């Protein structure tokens, strides 16, 4: 094989690899934008349910006032994450 054919083959291979890489990146970006928010919604919902259960348990045992403060802090962080991701939580949807 002469040098020109070899260079043409290498160029062709590089073009193919770059095309595949570019399109896979776009597809992965699309998948992330479609799938991740729903996954995060489910996870955040679970966290909220667990925090609610902790809050109820904390209220039942008033001697553990520190729990309520920690729960409020975690809930605020969840709200901030939701805002950053553009997710409307059930509590914020009515606003």
Phi, psi of 86 (to 5 degrees): 75, 30
Q: Residue 39 has which token pair?
A: 């996954």
Give the number of domains in the chain. 1
* Per-residue pLDDT, 41: 83
Residue 74: count other Cβ atoms within 10 Å of its Cβ. Answer: 15
Residue-level pLDDT at 93: 57
Query: What is the domain extent for residue 69?
Result: 3-93
* Rg (alpha carbons) of the chain, rounded to whole number: 25
Measuring CA to CA, which residue among 58, 59, 49, 57 is closest to residue 90?
Answer: 49
Q: pLDDT by residue for the chain (95 residues), tens digit each?
A: 588 888 888 888 899 888 888 888 788 888 888 888 888 888 888 888 888 887 777 777 665 666 667 778 888 888 888 887 877 766 555 55
CA distance 18 to 42: 36
Residue whose pair of structure tokens reads 């193919």 in the numeric block: 16
């Amino acid at each position: 094989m002469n040098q020109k054919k070899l260079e043409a083959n290498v160029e062709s291979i590089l073009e193919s690899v770059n095309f595949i890489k570019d399109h896979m990146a776009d597809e992965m970006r699309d998948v992330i934008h479609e799938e991740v928010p729903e996954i995060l919604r489910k996870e955040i919902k679970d966290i909220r349910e667990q925090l609610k259960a902790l809050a109820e348990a904390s209220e039942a045992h008033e001697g553990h006032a520190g729990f309520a403060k920690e729960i409020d802090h975690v809930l605020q962080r969840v709200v901030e994450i939701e805002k950053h991701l553009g997710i409307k939580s059930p509590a914020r949807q009515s606003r």
